[in-house]
Structure 1
Amino acid sequence: MSALAYAVSLVKRWESCRLEAYPDPATGGAPWTIGWGATGPGIVKGVKWTQAQADERLAQDVTRFLKGVQSAVKKPATDAQTGAMTSLAYNIGAKAFASSTLLRKFNAGDVAG
């Protein structure tokens, strides 16, 4: 399985998919979210997607996060490790992943840490 496939499967395992836009639970408004956690321009109250649209957007978003993870990881990583790190980056954001303890330890060779 590729790193991208690992990441997509992990995101789908832990995130739910909603096909109608919903407000951020913390704010009751922005950012509006749809699909597997997509936010951004055009995602507003009343927007509805098909499952195919949600899955396509997930693939696009995970691909973007995968590229960021691959550029941040300085040690060899398996596809499963890269996929797991990509799922984490998708969840916490690229900036938070770049400064994460996980990335620091992995790049230092502390895989168990």
Structure 2
Amino acid sequence: MGVNSFTYSNDGLALTKQFEGCELTAYQDQVGVWTIGYGHTGAGVASGLTITQDQADALLLSDIAAAVTFVNQVVSVPLQQNHFDALVDFAFNLGRASLSGSTLLRLLNAGNFDGAAGQFPLWDHAGGKVVAGLLRRRQAEQTMFQGQPAQGNSSNA
């Protein structure tokens, strides 16, 4: 059970916004999922949908809130803010199920922070193919997790 009660920092939110980019008209992502705003998917997102910037911001905060709650629940070791932010971006981008069943989480909950950090770059595939933008995002998360300023190029990954 979780031992943390963090909120997402401005640094974490900046990382998510940088890699997601913002599209106010629905588009299909690299694996064909209809997406809008900052990576928002789900019921109601379909061809032709448009939203305002305010709606995109609200969707992002709602989607992030779910990832924040999840990370606080599934991590059983005390974290620092940089660890938490990297994990929230990971869960936001890949989905909570990916984090919950991952070696990354297993190693982290065993107290092996270095081993957990080494897992981030392994999550660079979409549709069975390596995606350069995903690798850059995982490297930025890894850097943030390790307590260094995250760097990376926006890639809509």
Same fold, TM-score > 0.5, yes or no: yes
What is residue 72 of structure 1 aligned with on the other side?
74
State the percentage of identical aligned residues: 37
Matched, 1:17 2:19: no
Instruction: Quote the offset at 1:3 in angstroms.
Output: 3.8
Separation in structure 2 between the aligned mates of residue 84 and residue 3 of structure 1, nearest angstrom: 12
Separation in structure 2 between the aligned mates of residue 63 and residue 97 of structure 1, nearest angstrom: 16
Amino acid across the alignment from 1:84:
A
Separation in structure 2 between the aligned mates of residue 85 and residue 25 of structure 1, nearest angstrom: 22
Amino acid across the alignment from 2:8:
L
Matched, 1:52 2:54: yes
- Equivalences, count: 109
CA 1:22–1:44 in structure 2 vs 1: closer, same or farther (change >3 Å)?
same
**Greater relative CO, 1 or 2 (CA 8 Å, sep 6+):** 1
TM-score by length of 1: 0.88
Matched, 1:8 2:10: no
TM-score by length of 2: 0.65
Amino acid across the alignment from 1:54:
A
Task: Please list every run of 5 or more consecutive structure 1 residues that lacks an aligned counterpart in the other structure.
Answer: none
Instruction: Quote the offset at 1:4 in angstroms.
Output: 1.1
The CA RMSD measured in Å over matched residues stands at 1.4
